[in-house]
Amino acid sequence: MSTPSAPRASGSRRGSIDGLGTRHPIGLQLPAVYADDELAQRFTAGLDDVIAPLLNVLDCMDSYFRPSLAPEDFTAWLGGWVGAETEPDTSLPLLRESVASAAGLHRLRGTRRGLAEAVRLAFGTVPEITESGGADWSARPLGAFPGDPRPHLLVVLRVDDPATIDVQRLDELVRAARPAHIPCTVQVTAKRGPEK
């Protein structure tokens, strides 16, 4: 799992942008005595170049907190805030989806649906989940209990190339998202070919 400070390989960084102006130039806000002072105007124009990106970020602040609009590096950092299970090499569309759905996914933690969604967001494939529990009803008392007496959970991830999957990462993710009292096993296998 990545930490909020984990760097991502990305070309998008905020900073100085050539030609980015500001709607509030400092030179125009100085007292009238400095309006014709060339040195003061050049000095404040240099400060405008430094401050313009900051004002731009503040003007667009709401977009930074929407995973669908935020810059890639900020989206990864935002994922640390909401506890998204991401890795530095996660593709941008999957990263944005993971961060956007993280808060809702915490509500489903420990359920079959929550486990399946956590694995799908991390690996891009829906797993097959087999669990030992069950639910049933009976019109008569003392009926047989459904499921197995020994709890267990099996998560199978079927992918084109099993060598591309980090099994240890899958195991850690499943252990974090499963019900705490159930032992689990993970398997990564190749997709089944078409039936003949």
CA dist., res. 128 & res. 125, Å (int): 10
What's the whole-number average pLDDT of the chain? 83
**pLDDT tens for residues 146-161?**
778 888 999 999 999 8
Domains annotated on the chain, with CATH:
26-59 (no CATH), 114-196 (3.30.300)
**pLDDT tens for residues 16-74?**
567 777 888 899 999 999 988 999 999 998 888 888 888 888 888 888 889 999 988 88
Backbone angle region of 147, left / alpha / beta, with phi > 0 → left and psi within -120 to 50 → alpha? left
Torsion of CA 181, 183, 187, 193, to 10 degrees: -70
The position carrying tokens 């313009």 is: 52
- For 119, the token pair is 């694995």
Q: How far is CA 97 from its chain centroid? A: 7
